[in-house]
Structure 1
Amino acid sequence: MGLFNDVGRFFETRLEEFLASHPHLELQAIAEQLEEQERGALRLNRELSSQLEQIEQKLTQIAKDIQHWHERVQQAEKGGRKDLAAAAKQREAALLREGNQLWGKMQGTKKRIEQSKTLLIQLQTKRKEVKAKMDELKTAQDVQDDYTTSWQSTTGDRPSSSGSDPLEKQFQQWEMDEQIRQMKQKMGQ
């Protein structure tokens, strides 16, 4: 397990270093994460709205049932049937308790909907901020590219791309060999 932990930490460190040296990729990853969280908040909001609608329908039905049994209580009392009136009062009381529980659940669901809406707004705002930062980085990169292009055209200097530069390949190979040597050294401890 120690080997896997070392390798895992090694890759996490390399990923962090890579993202630190490529901020546009880090911002892109954050934007994607925010977008996923936003979709989750929207999904939660839809589910809660559906639950609220169901609770409200149940409450409406319970209110009708309470009204029905209240009329039955009055009917039985007028008819002198105390036994039926008592049973109808018990049914009415049970429905009132159920209605109160549903009312509490409805209030809790409404609160959760408001919280999910607030979260959604925060996520959308944060995503806009990240997008603005990405646009800012892109603009800065475009300016840098324009400067480099104009400098190259005036000097005639054309740096070779890193993919075909033999010196760059040697450095990459050396760095990779060094990382492997360090991993082997850690595994040997």
Structure 2
Amino acid sequence: MGLFDDFSHFLETRLEEFLRNNPHLELQALEEQLREQEEDTLRLIADLQRQEKKLQEEILATAKEIQRWHSRLDKAKAANRVDLAQAAQEREAALLRQGNQRWGQMQGCKERIAKSKELYRQIQIRRQEVRTKAAEAAATAATAATAEATRTTNQNEQRWDTKGWNQSSNYSSGNQSDLLEEKFKRWETDEEIEQLKRNMGR
């Protein structure tokens, strides 16, 4: 277990070090989290809007029921049916309580929708900021990489130039050695000829 913990700590440390050296990747990870939050908030808004619509329909249905029972109450009162009038009045009161409850739920739903929409806008703004920073960090990293690549290329070209220069020097030096060799050979040949002439003149 200790070994596993040590290994996990090692991986976390390496990951932190990697993200420090590559800040644009850390920002990309943060942007991904914000994107997921955006989607979650949109799903919540859609769910709340469905709830609101359902509550509106229930309120309308309850309002129609209240009208129906109010009409029955009036009819029972007119017919002097006290028993039916009382029952109709109780039903109407129960429907009014139900309607008020649904209305309160709908208002709460509207408030939650408004807050969720505001949260969604804030997440969008934050995500755009992170995206911009990530793009800037990536551009900085790319510029640094290009500069490093250019520096390395220049060093390599410099080495190549130096090597070519040295090769040219060696080649020139070799040519000079060849010329000197030819001069010596000519001189030695001339000397041999002179010696032969002297010998022949005897």
* Paired residue secondary structure (1:80): coil
Percentage of matched positions with identical amino acids: 47
Q: Which has the larger radius of gyration?
A: 2
1:41–1:92: structure 2 CA closer, same or farther, 3 Å change rule?
Answer: same
Give the C-alpha shift of residue 21 in structure 1: 1.9
Give the C-alpha shift of residue 104 in structure 1: 1.1
Unaligned runs of 5+ in 1: 159-189
Q: What is the CA deviation profile of residues 93-124 of structure 1, one whole-angstrom value per residue up to 9, with x for unaligned ones?
A: 00011111111111111111111111111111
Q: Distance in 1 between matches of 2:155 and 2:16?
A: 36
Q: Distance in 2 between matches of 1:109 and 1:152?
A: 62
Corresponding residue for residue 71 of structure 2: 71
1:156–1:5: structure 2 CA closer, same or farther, 3 Å change rule?
Answer: closer
Corresponding residue for residue 98 of structure 1: 98
Q: Distance in 1 between matches of 2:22 and 2:49?
A: 41
One-letter identity of the residue aligned with 2:109: T
Q: Distance in 2 between matches of 1:2 and 1:84?
A: 79
Kindly report the root-mean-square deviation, in angstroms, between the aligned alpha carbons of the 2 structures. Answer: 2.0
1:3–1:63: structure 2 CA closer, same or farther, 3 Å change rule?
Answer: farther
One-letter identity of the residue aligned with 2:50: S
TM-score of the superposition, structure 2-length normalised? 0.71
Corresponding residue for residue 132 of structure 2: 132
Contact between 2:62 and 2:95, CA under 8 Å: does it hold in 1?
yes
Q: Distance in 2 between matches of 1:60 and 1:51?
A: 14
1:3–1:84: structure 2 CA closer, same or farther, 3 Å change rule?
Answer: farther
Give the C-alpha shift of residue 149 in structure 1: 4.1
One-letter identity of the residue aligned with 1:55: L
Give the C-alpha shift of residue 153 in structure 1: 4.3
Give the C-alpha shift of residue 157 in structure 1: 5.5
Corresponding residue for residue 19 of structure 1: 19
TM-score of the superposition, structure 1-length normalised? 0.76
Corresponding residue for residue 55 of structure 2: 55
One-letter identity of the residue aligned with 1:89: Q
Q: Name the structure where helix makes up a greater proportion of residues.
A: 2
Query: How many pairs were matched up?
Result: 158
Contact between 2:24 and 2:135, CA under 8 Å: does it hold in 1?
no
One-letter identity of the residue aligned with 2:115: Q
